Structures are given as C-alpha cells and as structure tokens.
Structure 1
C-alpha cells in the first residue's frame, strides 16, 4: 500500500510507509533512512501521532493500534478543516423533513452542527453529545436511546438500545468509522458501539459514510460490514484505487469536499 500524498509532506509520508512496513522502527533508523536528525523525526512522529497516523513509542514509532482508538479529546481537535467541509456537504445533501439515525463520533458531531440550518428533521441518536448539539432546535424532534452512557465519548450502548432502534425506519443513517480495508471491509474499535451501528444500518433506506482521508490508511479490529452496502461516501480526498474500484462496481455515490 502506498502512503505517498497522505500528509502532503513527502518526508512524513515516507516515515508512515517505513512504520507500516516494519511494524515498529526506531528514531535512529528513521533518521538514517530519511536523512534528517532524530530531533526532526521526533517532531514528525509527534505530529503524525496526533493525527492518528502512527503510534508514538519511547525511542521510535509503530503502527496505529487496531484495538484502541485515538483518544476522543485528540480526535475532536484534529482534521477540523476536513470534518467541517464534509459536514457542510452532508447538510446540503440531506432533504428537509427527513428522519435520521446519527451515531457516535467527532465527525458526526461536526455534521450535527451543520444540520442546524435544516428544517423538520427527526433525529434518533445514541450520542448524548449529538443530542446536546441539536435538542434546542425547535425545527427538530430529537430522540435519544436509553442505556449505558459512556464517559469518554458520550455514547449510549446496551441491549435496550438495539431493541429501541428496531422500532424505527430512517431515511438516512449518518455514521463514521475507524477504518476501511483495501477490499472494502468496514471496521471500528468497540464491539458494543458496532452492534448499535449495525442495527441502524439494517433500518435505514440510505446509508451515508462520513470519513476523512486517514480512515483509508488506518486499522481497527471489529468488523462493521461491507462498503458495498453504503449508499454514499463523503470524504476530503479521493480514496485509494482499490476502494475506488468497489465504489464504481457498486455505484456508490462519492462526494469529495473542497477544502
């Protein structure tokens, strides 16, 4: 897999390629391969780690964990420009008078804010944070589920959530995820959150995936479904060729936001 062009910085793109090829690589090896000082490597690793592209270790860098997601507080302050542009496009795409499922995540929170310009929406969400953004809008009916409220991301999970979701049919599901593999498998990090998204997928007419470019190059451990089932993808960069092939074969709408 090529990582050229991922960051726009050729040295950092090469650093990512070396980390992915080796699993773990020391600062000294990276400095020798890239022809820079270890101080420069440390700065690059710090920046790439904050973007969720590599995992920062003492003395080097490794692949991003497929088991643990980047901390929510970091994710909500990274790729703001990209998430804002994606959110604006999705808000323009959603018709007034729609019923929406909205899941958990920093990207969907940007979308929730952008939806405030719409009228007569019914929103069913398992995100306390999304509900908090939208509930004061008199044009909306905001429905939250009952279950276990998670401290780290404001998500609500549990068996009662899935039973509740099964009572609805939504015009649109708006969700993000942890990663997409080259062969089109949708992945995320938490099995409990994935169970809720699967229920929403099963009860939605149109399925919208909102992802920034990093999701094409990272990994996660829990299988959510297949890209072939998605109706539309909103992102900030064209996907890799392998994913583009799946998009074309399945006639998935692709919307690339202008930054």
Structure 2
C-alpha cells in the first residue's frame, strides 16, 4: 500500500467517524427525530397531549402550570405547580425532564416555543441512516476568510413560513472550485473562532435537500486560511422533520455549481439509498 493509499484510507475513515457521530446525535433518544410536536406559545395557557401542564408566554418568560400529579425535572430539581422558566434568549433552549421524555422550552425567531421529545417517536423508530456521497479529496478546498472588521447582522428566512432569523456575520469565506472563485457569507460556528456557512448548490432539490445544507469550518489560521471540506456538508434538522425552525441560506450563498459531496436527501423525504 502506498502513502497515498494510506492517506485516502485515513481520509475516508475520518469522514465515516464524522458522519456516524452526526447520525448518533440526530437519532439519539432526545435528538431531533424524537420531536413529536412544535408548539407556539401565547399569553393564553394551553395544554398539549405530549407534554404535562398548561403552557403560556408572558412578558416575564415562559410559564407552566402543572396539575396535581404532574411534575417536571428542571436542572436536576423536581418542580410541581407553577414554574417560571424566565426569559429565554434567542436560539437558547432549556430541557425539562418528564418520565423518559424531554420537553424543550426555547425561543426561535422571537417566539417562545415548546417541543416535546419522546424516544418512542415514529420518526426516530423508523430511522436507519442518511444517504451521502462517497467522500472525495477533490471536494476539500483551501480557502480564505475575509473579515468584515465588525460583525454584520444578516437576516435570513426559516424553514417555518413567515419566521426570520438574524445572525451576526463576521465575514465571508472565499475559495475556488475548478478554477472559479466563489464567496459565501459565514456565521459563527460551534466553537470560538470557528465558522459556519449555509448554502444551496446545483444539487439542491435534485440529490440533496432543497432548502439548505450546513458546513462547519475551523478557525482561520494566522494568514486567514481555512479548510472548506464539502464532504462534510450536512443536513439540518428541517431536512428530516417539519417540526424544525432551521435558517435558510442568505441569497448570496446559492452556488451555481453542483457540489456532489456531503449528505443527500434523507430517506424520510424521498431520498434514494
């Protein structure tokens, strides 16, 4: 086996580990596939069949009124009767335990929501895997981060009609594909200094999910270089369920070329194995 073969074997193995870890989170007992409903709270208390209590959104935050015999576990503490979750920050969540389920209390697009997550949900039980393109080194590009200097607020649409998200963008990522340069507006990634881009391309709606895909990019080096690995272009939760509020890419992040790499249309949306 040549050095090149060893590198390719390592490259594929690393991708498989990434994909497996992503699938494990998605299909975990309280992952996105476990969500059974998406409830938009109002000032009027409302009860839901898949969660205990009567829930409402008040000026002081989310409130639940639990009846006798009902209880939740919040941050390790059993709560009964009335419980105030307080004002939840945009894109933040609080998880409350209920038997083997988790009741997610969150804010999305300025609205308070409740999303019960049950391990025995039909979507989770039926899940097998997410189809993906075979990893290819060709789709790993060296790019450059172009800072805006000061973050710029960028408003994008959402998987839920009428909802909008606002993200701060630190700059753009520039790279080339087959000699043609492209730029994508980036948002902050999962770890300090890292980046995330939302995009569509020529495969969107054909072999990959139509609305969006997401790509995590490591922190730029001292000269602004970044690695753009489209093999790790992943589906967001809205690719699997209508009970997600995922952001859509900004208009400038619609690539005119077919990026035949990364995750494909889920089987749950009619994708091919």
Q: If each structure's helix is expressed as a fraction of its own residues, which one has the higher value? A: 1
Question: Which structure: larger Rg?
Answer: 2
Same fold, judged at TM 0.5 (above): no
State the TM-score, normalized to the length of structure 1.
0.30
Q: If each structure's strand is expressed as a fraction of its own residues, which one has the higher value? A: 2
State the TM-score, normalized to the length of structure 2.
0.29
